[in-house]
């Protein structure tokens, strides 16, 4: 009995120690975001940035946020980003679902070779693809529109791989039973497998949403009209126009720009661990 209590106490102390270490590093990682929010509520930061950094400003004020929302450009940038992000997420998740199911449950020639080609695309960064993509889109006359930001998301090697790994964990007997009942492939996918793919769909939505909303380099290349600027481009242009002279406004705008990502993540976060556990990414 004494030994059992000692082991429980040792286990409790160990868990407490691990929790404190994780809490420390979590606070350390959150420090820049907390400072960003703090500066956004500091009206005097438009004159000079507070040093040393303060957790709570001396004069808490929503002045910076009022100025931001008085400017109609930020709403236009939000609308542009919303159009691009919703379209990109819809296309990328839908195509990854269909492609992942095909590579997982389908039987066709050169299946493994095609999947290796898809995986090979993960080794090519965006920079070498900028010029070919730009020339292609320029040829078809799609530059300075939202299409260059939406169409490339139609194929995502990483999302397709993630989705295939998830479907690999689902039993083939479900498909065989549906085939015995006379169901075709599309009916099997939409009525049998798709309802089970909620966790992986939520994870892909979060990932593709973050990629699309935060994308900066590619929109900078293909968008010249300020009326089409997304939130990252608007934030960059605002910073270039004002430098550090309006630090409070810049930080308030940065805080507002990441709010959609935080909201989407909070709604879908509970699916992430579940999807990773079921997708085979854990190294099995």
What is the per-residue pLDDT for 281?
A: 43
What is the per-residue pLDDT for 81?
A: 92
Residue 48 lies in domain:
1-70
Q: Is residue 284 part of a domain?
A: no
Cα pseudo-dihedral 80, 86, 87, 88, rounded to 10: 100
What is the per-residue pLDDT for 46?
A: 66
What is the per-residue pLDDT for 276?
A: 58
| Pairwise CA distance, residues 148 & 266, whole Å | 29
| Pairwise CA distance, residues 235 & 220, whole Å | 12
- The tokens describing 75, both together, are 């709403």
> What Å distances lie between residue 148 and 84, 114, 125, 177, 210, CA to CA?
10, 25, 17, 42, 17
Structural domain count, the chain: 2
Please check whether residues 42 and 182 belong to one and the same domain.
Answer: no
pLDDT tens sequence across 90-119: 999 999 999 999 998 888 888 889 888 888
| Pairwise CA distance, residues 68 & 252, whole Å | 8
What is the per-residue pLDDT for 283?
A: 39
Please check whether residues 92 and 112 belong to one and the same domain.
Answer: yes
| Pairwise CA distance, residues 102 & 105, whole Å | 6
pLDDT tens sequence across 48-63: 666 676 777 777 777 7
pLDDT category, 274, cuts 50, 70, 90?
A: low
pLDDT tens sequence across 210-269: 889 988 889 988 988 888 889 888 888 776 665 555 777 888 888 888 888 888 888 777
Residue 138 sits in a domain of what CATH number? 1.10.3720.10
Residues 46 and 249: beta-carbon distance below 8 Å: yes
What is the per-residue pLDDT for 88?
A: 93
Q: Model's pTM, two decimal places?
A: 0.80
Please check whether residues 180 and 230 belong to one and the same domain.
Answer: yes
What is the per-residue pLDDT for 272?
A: 66
Cis peptide leading into 229, omega within 30 of 0?
no
Between 248 and 84, the more confident residue is: 84
Domain boundary (70, 92, 116) is at 70
Local structure of 124: helix, strand or coil:
coil
| Pairwise CA distance, residues 118 & 279, whole Å | 18
For the cut 70, the answer to whether the pLDDT of residue 20 exceeds it is: yes
Residues 151 and 133: beta-carbon distance below 8 Å: no
Q: What percent of the chain has pLDDT over 70?
A: 86
For the cut 80, the answer to whether the pLDDT of residue 9 exceeds it is: no
Domain boundary (51, 70, 89) is at 70
> What Å distances lie between residue 162 and 119, 169, 182, 275, CA to CA?
11, 11, 29, 9
Please check whether residues 57 and 180 belong to one and the same domain.
Answer: no
| Pairwise CA distance, residues 214 & 199, whole Å | 23
Please check whether residues 19 and 157 belong to one and the same domain.
Answer: no
Q: Is residue 208 part of a domain?
A: yes
What is the per-residue pLDDT for 282?
A: 42
Please check whether residues 46 and 90 belong to one and the same domain.
Answer: no
Please check whether residues 39 and 89 belong to one and the same domain.
Answer: no
Q: Could you tell me which residues come within 8 angstroms of residue 215 by beta carbon, excluding any fewer than 6 positions away?
A: 149, 230, 232
What is the per-residue pLDDT for 256?
A: 85
Mean pLDDT, the chain, whole residue set? 82
Please check whether residues 84 and 17 belong to one and the same domain.
Answer: no
Residues 104 and 189: beta-carbon distance below 8 Å: no
| Pairwise CA distance, residues 105 & 200, whole Å | 16
For the cut 50, the answer to whether the pLDDT of residue 205 exceeds it is: yes
Residues 6 and 218: beta-carbon distance below 8 Å: no
Domain boundary (12, 44, 70) is at 70
Please check whether residues 164 and 191 belong to one and the same domain.
Answer: yes
Q: What percent of the chain has pLDDT over 90?
A: 12
Most confident of 30-34, 147-151, 245-249, 273-277: 147-151
For the cut 80, the answer to whether the pLDDT of residue 72 exceeds it is: no
Q: How much is the average pLDDT of 128-143?
A: 88
Q: How much is the average pLDDT of 31-39?
A: 83
- The mean-pLDDT minimum among 3-12, 58-67, 76-85, 168-177 falls in 3-12
Return the bridge partners of 60, or none.
Answer: 42
What is the per-residue pLDDT for 93?
A: 92
For the cut 80, the answer to whether the pLDDT of residue 129 exceeds it is: yes
């Amino acid at each position: 009995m004494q030994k059992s209590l000692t082991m429980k106490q040792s286990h409790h102390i160990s868990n407490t120690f691990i929790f404190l270490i994780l809490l420390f590093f979590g606070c350390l990682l959150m420090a820049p975001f907390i400072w960003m929010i703090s500066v956004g509520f500091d009206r005097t930061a438009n004159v000079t940035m507070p040093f040393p950094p303060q957790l709570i400003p001396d004069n808490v004020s929503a002045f910076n946020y009022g100025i931001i929302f008085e400017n109609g450009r930020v709403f236009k940038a939000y609308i542009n980003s919303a159009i691009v992000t919703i379209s990109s997420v819809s296309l990328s998740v839908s195509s990854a679902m269909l492609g992942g199911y095909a590579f997982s449950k389908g039987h066709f020639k050169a299946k493994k070779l095609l999947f290796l080609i898809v995986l090979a695309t993960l080794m090519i960064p965006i920079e070498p693809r900028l010029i070919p993509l730009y020339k292609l889109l320029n040829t078809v006359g799609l530059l300075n529109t939202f299409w260059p930001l939406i169409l490339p998301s139609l194929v995502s090697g990483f999302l397709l791989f993630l989705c295939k790994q998830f479907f690999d964990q689902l039993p083939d007997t479900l498909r065989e039973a549906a085939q015995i009942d006379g169901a075709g492939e599309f009916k099997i996918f939409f009525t049998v497998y798709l309802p089970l793919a909620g966790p992986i769909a939520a994870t892909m939505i979060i990932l593709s949403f973050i990629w699309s909303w935060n994308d900066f380099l590619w929109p900078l290349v293909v968008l010249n009209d300020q009326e089409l600027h997304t939130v990252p481009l608007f934030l960059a242009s605002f910073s270039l126009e004002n430098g550090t002279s309006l630090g409070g406004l810049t930080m308030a705008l940065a805080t507002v720009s990441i709010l959609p990502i935080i909201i989407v993540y909070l709604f879908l976060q509970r699916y992430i661990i579940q999807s990773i556990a079921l997708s085979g990414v854990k190294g099995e």
